[in-house]
Structure 1
Amino acid sequence: MTEAFEHGAGVRSLRVPIPDNPLGHTLVYVVDTDRGPVLIDTGWDDPGAWDTLVRGLTACGTSVAEIHGVVVTHHHPDHHGLSGRVREASGAWIAMHAADTAVVRRTREAAPERWLAYMTDKLAAAGAPEEHLAPLRAARPRALPGLSPALPDRDIAPGELLDLPGRRLRAIWTPGHTPGHVCLHLEEDHPAHLPGRGRLFSGDHLLPGISPHIGLYEDPDDTTVTDPLGDYLDSLERVGRLAPAEVLPAHQHAFPHAVDRVRELLAHHQSRLTGLLALLREPLTPWQLAERMEWNRPWRRIPHGSRTIAVSEAEAHLRRLVKLGHAEALPGSDPARYVAV
């Protein structure tokens, strides 16, 4: 049986499974409006996930055909994956921040071979060893979830009140996890009268027991040096100042005390940056730094794809340290090595 959890005042959540992923599921929110239900995220593009979403909507007393719109917190396939199928079944619009729409467009337009070559070059520049690069060089492009995501119909503008008749849902731009990640502030009294300002659909930005991945999302044709960790920390402080009564995240479970969780995450990243500076007493490539960082398991047990993600996160932290003037790249090093200053 599909679980549809009641959050009160016309808000429910559905657990839509993510196949072969330790996160287990995405929490898809169903928000009643005067023109029909609106979904916040949709879940992974998988037959089992689709069936779960359909059964869950039935349990909510509605159906896919009645969906009025889809608001996507960010472009990742466990959030945006089923958006196109929902639109085909209902005629619903899809809304997303323009920065993530740009990622979707690049993903759709670029050949998979180009992404593999770009990833291989980036990892080589980060100091990845040949045994990590060889499978990428030999890989044959194949159809994967997220490689042909639906193009949204509408842009979400930071600070705008979304077009949800009968509801007050305001977009809060929270870049970091992705360039166009948005949280959505339901500016209505909490149904259980918890202290604070409404409820916040937080996507992956603010989770009760996980620090979201902060990596690099870049256009291969754009040489701009981004600072995703700095963006994330600024976005956390913005959400902290909002002080919602309850957070409705895309994974795990709803929780109060958003301000406390923001403080925990800010402290976590400050501690991590301090620890990385200690490691950078000797010059290290981003790969070497990732090998020495603390993860949820020893480096030797981290699988190939997750190591690629870990190196991206190490580079995001390095960029933050460089921007703060606490680290620098050694001139002439290839692959680039960084050292504390």
Structure 2
Amino acid sequence: MTQVTDHGGGVRSIRVPIPDNPLGTTLVHLVDTDLGPVLIDTGWDDPASWDALAAGLNACGVSVAEVHGVVITHHHPDHHGLSGKVREASGAWIAMHALDTAIVRRTRENRPDRWFSYMADKLASSGAPEEHVALLRAARTARLSTGLPAFTPALPDREIVPGELLDLAGRRLRAIWTPGHTPGHVCLHLEETHPAALPGNGRLFSGDHLLPRITPHIGLYEDPDDATVADPLGDYLDALERVGRLNPAEVLPAHQHAFTDAPGRVRELLAHHEDRLTGLLALLSTPLTSWQLAERMEWNRPWDQIPFTSRNIAVSEAEAHVRRLVKLGRAEAVTGSDPVTYVAL
């Protein structure tokens, strides 16, 4: 597979591998500016990923040391992982939305055992069986890092402000806040004529918000210090509609490949989530915990083949969907249930 793709108009993408992940690669985008190259995302912090990023930059005629800035769509390690190394090598600034910067700061400051305790309690309250929760409790006791944050991501030094143009000399790149996948996820709208004159309004660097063939994970926004009952799926669906109205000529996502017809893809994703919510209502004809709901939902493989960490992610996604149903008045928590069960209205 070609490592570098030239999208024209001073925009290229570099395929940076993600170790042991079915997504395969992150598309790190390189944008030329009057003050030097700027990266949109950086890829996973791994020696092979770093080598691929450096080789891709060299193929574009620049070195890591020449990178002027780094714009991060969201804090996940396949997007933000190499940002610190890029800054060390080049002195580049790093920009991120304030809500995701807060997550980075919390990840750096919190003790791993606090995360183990929080996640174990969260899973127990979701109805996870004791043998599953016990693995987390054992890991906490041993101060291991299985399935939980165990890295020190770079702290950004610039804030991406939604609606504003980023400070990129000679380019018009506007931040669009698109929460859902993470609280501070942003898409970046390049408000310039498409180099191939495709119809539509510029180009959109969509991160994980809008992908051509898969749907991003929409789970809970985990914060041990915040008791707010968030609605990440509602956030995501609202942001999808905003992006559809932009009608970009081309979408440059962080995974898979560039594509056109963003409004059409938005309609597909909205329909997908509505179908899924309808299916969950049928399951909730009988009261179920979030864990029981996740066991019965359709995934890319049978539940008994889903590994430990992926089950935690699946339960988070199930709860995000049931929260949406509750907010819409289509389901409710059963009074007095422990662990909490939900039922359709």
Match of 1:69 in 2: 69
Alignment of structure 1 residues 3-82 onto 2, 5 Å: 3-82=3-82
For residues 87-123 of structure 1, give each alpha carbon's deviation from its aligned partner in whole angstroms, at most 9, with x where no partner exists.
0000000000000001111111000011011000000
Structure 1 unaligned blocks of 5 or more: none
Match of 2:238 in 1: 234
Contact 1:45 1:145 in 2 (8 A): no
Task: Kindly state the Cα deviation for residue 211 of structure 1 after the two structures are TM-superposed.
Answer: 0.5
Larger deviation, residues 81-90 vs 1-10: 1-10
Task: Kindly state the Cα deviation for residue 145 of structure 1 after the two structures are TM-superposed.
Answer: 7.0
Match of 1:130 in 2: 130
What SS is found at the alignment partner of 2:14? strand
What SS is found at the alignment partner of 2:205? strand
Partners of 2:149 and 2:68 lie apart in 1 by 24
Contact 1:176 1:228 in 2 (8 A): yes
Task: Kindly state the Cα deviation for residue 147 of structure 1 after the two structures are TM-superposed.
Answer: 2.4
Which amino acid in structure 2 is aligned with residue 243 of structure 1?
Answer: N
Match of 1:334 in 2: 338
1:178 to 179, 182, 198: 182
Contact 1:196 1:245 in 2 (8 A): yes
Structure 2 unaligned blocks of 5 or more: none
Partners of 1:112 and 1:145 lie apart in 2 by 7
Task: Kindly state the Cα deviation for residue 131 of structure 1 after the two structures are TM-superposed.
Answer: 1.6
Runs of 4+ displaced beyond 2 Å: 140-147
Match of 1:196 in 2: 200
What SS is found at the alignment partner of 1:253? coil
What SS is found at the alignment partner of 1:273? helix
Describe the shift of the 1:74–1:324 C-alpha distance in structure 2 as closer, same or farther (beyond 3 A): same
Contact 1:244 1:258 in 2 (8 A): yes
Contact 1:74 1:96 in 2 (8 A): yes
Alignment of structure 1 residues 252-271 onto 2, 5 Å: 252-271=256-275
Match of 1:217 in 2: 221
Match of 1:141 in 2: 143
Describe the shift of the 1:61–1:146 C-alpha distance in structure 2 as closer, same or farther (beyond 3 A): farther
Partners of 1:218 and 1:22 lie apart in 2 by 24
Partners of 1:44 and 1:239 lie apart in 2 by 26
1:152 paired with 2:156, answer yes
Percent identity between the two aligned chains: 79
Match of 2:84 in 1: 84
Contact 2:112 2:150 in 1 (8 A): no
Which amino acid in structure 1 is aligned with residue 7 of structure 2?
Answer: H
For residues 126-151 of structure 1, give each alpha carbon's deviation from its aligned partner in whole angstroms, at most 9, with x where no partner exists.
00001211211111334687621000
What SS is found at the alignment partner of 1:226? coil
1:288 to 287, 292, 314: 292
Which amino acid in structure 1 is aligned with residue 175 of structure 2?
Answer: A
Describe the shift of the 1:67–1:234 C-alpha distance in structure 2 as closer, same or farther (beyond 3 A): same
For residues 38-83 of structure 1, give each alpha carbon's deviation from its aligned partner in whole angstroms, at most 9, with x where no partner exists.
0000000001100111111000000110000000000000000000
When normalised by structure 1's length, the TM-score is 0.98
Partners of 2:107 and 2:273 lie apart in 1 by 30
Task: Kindly state the Cα deviation for residue 219 of structure 1 after the two structures are TM-superposed.
Answer: 1.7
Match of 1:244 in 2: 248
CA RMSD, Structure 1 to Structure 2 (Å): 1.1
Q: How many residues align?
A: 341
